[in-house]
Structure 1
Amino acid sequence: MPEITTRNILFLPQEVREFAFANVDHLAPTRTVAAGNNIKELNYSLQDWNDFRYQVDDEIYSLDDFEGREAFRGLIVVQGNNILLEDYADGHEEDTTWVSFSVTKSITSMLIGAAIKDGYIESIDDPISDYIIALKGTEYEAVTIRNLLQMSTGIAWNEDYGDPESDVAIAGTYNGERLISYLSGLPRVAAPGALYNYNTAESNLAGELLRSAINGNASIYLEEKIWSPYGMEHDAYWLLSSPNGSETGGCCLNATLRDYARIGLFALDSGILGDGTETFAADWMEISTSPSDQNSGYGLSWWLGDEESYYARGIF
């Protein structure tokens, strides 16, 4: 088993991914996001899916077709607090964690929403350099938090996962001074807010902004604001840039399938906890899942679908 690092996690050979992606907390530096004592219960209300069909490129497929794919590891369908479907591949169970990759971007976005509600951040339209002083005097000085979360900073970036020399391969998991140094050396290709360009490192920069604003680490903030109070069932693990380093804001929270479903329910609940506590401002999720001017399919680090649907998405 090769060592997993923030540099090579995108390029592991297929034959090791199944084990590695389910065991990141054993193979790489992570920080624990502890579950609380009061679990948000999900009730079994399983349905018959034998007649379910879906279409891709004029081909019709069944649920068995989907779950028979080589990369399939688990699938859960939840409506309200009811589990309508829950299936796992061999070797994967209810307590198996799996690395989320870019799903983490949506979680970082929600934590920034919580930081605004808590008063750590004044406005989504603040320049990010108000919180990351090292960016003053760089091309990022006038970039706002909104620009950052909408992937519209106007800075050049190559997000080609198949190219080991691309920006994302080199710096996609950088944090701290190394991240700021790399991004500060990239050229501007458009004004802030004028052009959409997907950039994982800038989600890591959002993580830097969050940590600077709250003067703490993102794992504890996630635990305090979402994981424990909403009732996640299992501990999660957030990949760090190095041992005792910083969380990777754009990647690699590791959680169980049921807790990923609970994250979706938390978003649908607009961050309102069971006791009525509001994690965000009342309109935060509406703003987060509204299309940006630069890309009608992207909001504040959330992907947008048809009929007012939205989703978090990660590679693999």
Structure 2
Amino acid sequence: MTNVSELRHRAGDALLIAGGFLGSGRQHSRQMTRLLQPWINAWTFSHMRLLRPVEPVPAADQPRPLPRGHRPLDEVRYRFDGADLGLADLHRRTETTAFVVLHGGAVVHEAYPGRFAGPTRPSLLFSLTKSMLSMLVGIAVGEGAIGDVRDPVVKYRPDLRGTAYDGPTVLDLLNMSSGAGDLEDWTDPDATIIRFKDAIDGDGSLRDVVTSVERNTTPGTAFNYSSIDAQVLGWVLESATNTTLPQYAARRLWSRLGAERDGYFWLTRSRPRTAIGAGSFNATPLDIARLGLLMARGGAVDGDQIVPGEWVEQCRTSTLSHLAVGALGPSGYPHYGYSRLWWTLDGPRNPFTGLGIYGQYLYVDPDADVVIVKTSAWPTPDDADRDRETITALRTVADRLAADAMIAH
């Protein structure tokens, strides 16, 4: 029987890539693969408050219950690599821990195949946190706390003058196009991202890591997935709003969203502790679905415009050629594009998704009025086949619900 002490130790290894990237397709060591077996991941990802210092994001004083409906989605079949598969196959083959589907604003399908999952159990979102950060930045822009996304980063963080972040704009950070840093490589012990992880764990300074990053391309011209970019963006938001990321999320998003349960960010071990905006938010599947519903409904809930509608539209697609579907290069799978910390997809309805390593998804198809949450415990951080299969299945579910709605009307 594995005890809590051993799980804490193994969780430290899991956090090597917390806040990192799903999509590079890079191979990780066999030792890491053996260590991070799905059941250990499932426990770790659902018990982060036992393993790290955290700052809560309290539930709404008056939660907005999600209405309930039903669709026979267990009958949905999707085609993948020549096989005819159903949702039970998806959950087994891609280590699903929780799966929630909203259609028309109602929960129409809910499953918790994970060992430690349930409707009240928070889960670590990893880099799906970045998509929530995008929503918070959109709120700050709408409120005027951030004047313009084309403002330079150093307007809000003058302490970064003279660094690689002196030149990029807020929009460059949102689009992972700062030109700062190189390809994230969690297998290279000398990589900047490993020093970033070590600083989160209390070995060194996050600011020292950020200021050591070098400029590699002209800002705004090339996509390069960067958790450090997202961390800097979180600092920009904190400086612009004069509050911490968890506090701003609680006041301006979580409470207005009608969240039923507390969420939380985990923090650096070293003091002063700071939230990791690049990938440390934890929430229940149903509250994650509420984030997706907000994006599916143009940023509004019950007539309350929380995220500006124009911001939501700009997250669905990009007019920049280097962010188009298939154009992201080595730090993106070919079926994705990118816009404002969301992964875009082609197709007639332009769905988009938040992603986190180990198989975390918040799939949003506004035209079909569909939101799908899938949390997972993959044995490895990145998996091109599991990702491709998941997107295929989620598209199929959305297509089925859209078709059913057309028949009903």
Aligned AA (1:273): V
Shift of 1:204: 0.8
**1:85 and 2:125 matched:** no
What is the distance in 2 between the residues matched to 1:244 and 1:26?
Answer: 20
- SS of alignment partner, residue 231 of structure 2: helix
**1:157 and 2:182 matched:** yes
| Alignment match of 1:8 (pick from 16, 20, 29) | 16
1:38 aligned partner:
62
Shift of 1:169: 3.0
| Alignment match of 1:308 (pick from 336, 350, 372) | 350
What is the distance in 1 between the residues matched to 2:232 and 2:175?
Answer: 13
Shift of 1:182: 1.8
Query: Structure 1's 298 and 172: CA in aligned 2 closer, same or farther, altered over 3 A?
Result: farther
What is the distance in 1 between the residues matched to 2:196 and 2:155?
Answer: 23
Shift of 1:163: 4.3
| Alignment match of 1:184 (pick from 211, 221, 229) | 211
What is the distance in 2 between the residues matched to 1:141 and 1:258?
Answer: 39
Unaligned runs of 5+ in 2: 1-6, 19-31, 325-336, 359-409
User: In terms of mean alpha carbon deviation, does 137-146 or 68-77 score higher?
Assistant: 68-77
1:288 aligned partner:
315
8 Å CA contact 2:46–2:116 kept in 1: the answer is no
2:294 aligned partner:
266
**1:103 and 2:128 matched:** yes
- SS of alignment partner, residue 265 of structure 2: strand
- Looking at secondary structure, tell me which structure has more helix per residue: 2
**Residues 1-316 of structure 1: pairs in structure 2 closer than 5 A:** 1-3=7-9, 4-5=11-12, 8=16, 10=18, 13-14=36-37, 15-69=39-93, 71-89=95-113, 90-172=115-197, 174=199, 178-242=205-269, 245-274=273-302, 276-291=303-318, 292-296=320-324, 297-306=337-346, 307-316=349-358
What is the distance in 2 between the residues matched to 1:70 and 1:143?
Answer: 37
- SS of alignment partner, residue 45 of structure 1: coil
- SS of alignment partner, residue 198 of structure 1: coil
User: In terms of mean alpha carbon deviation, does 111-120 or 237-246 score higher?
Assistant: 237-246
Shift of 1:26: 1.6
8 Å CA contact 2:152–2:168 kept in 1: the answer is yes
User: In terms of mean alpha carbon deviation, does 230-239 or 175-184 score higher?
Assistant: 175-184
Shift of 1:180: 3.2
What is the distance in 1 between the residues matched to 2:103 and 2:248?
Answer: 27
Shift of 1:244: 6.0
Once the two structures are superposed, residues 148-199 of structure 1 have per-residue CA deviations (whole angstroms, 9 ceiling, x without a partner) of 1100111232323444543333315857993332233222221001111000
What is the distance in 2 between the residues matched to 1:133 and 1:13?
Answer: 40
Aligned AA (1:74): A
User: In terms of mean alpha carbon deviation, does 54-63 or 233-242 score higher?
Assistant: 54-63
Between the two proteins, the alignment pairs up a number of residues equal to 315
- SS of alignment partner, residue 92 of structure 1: coil
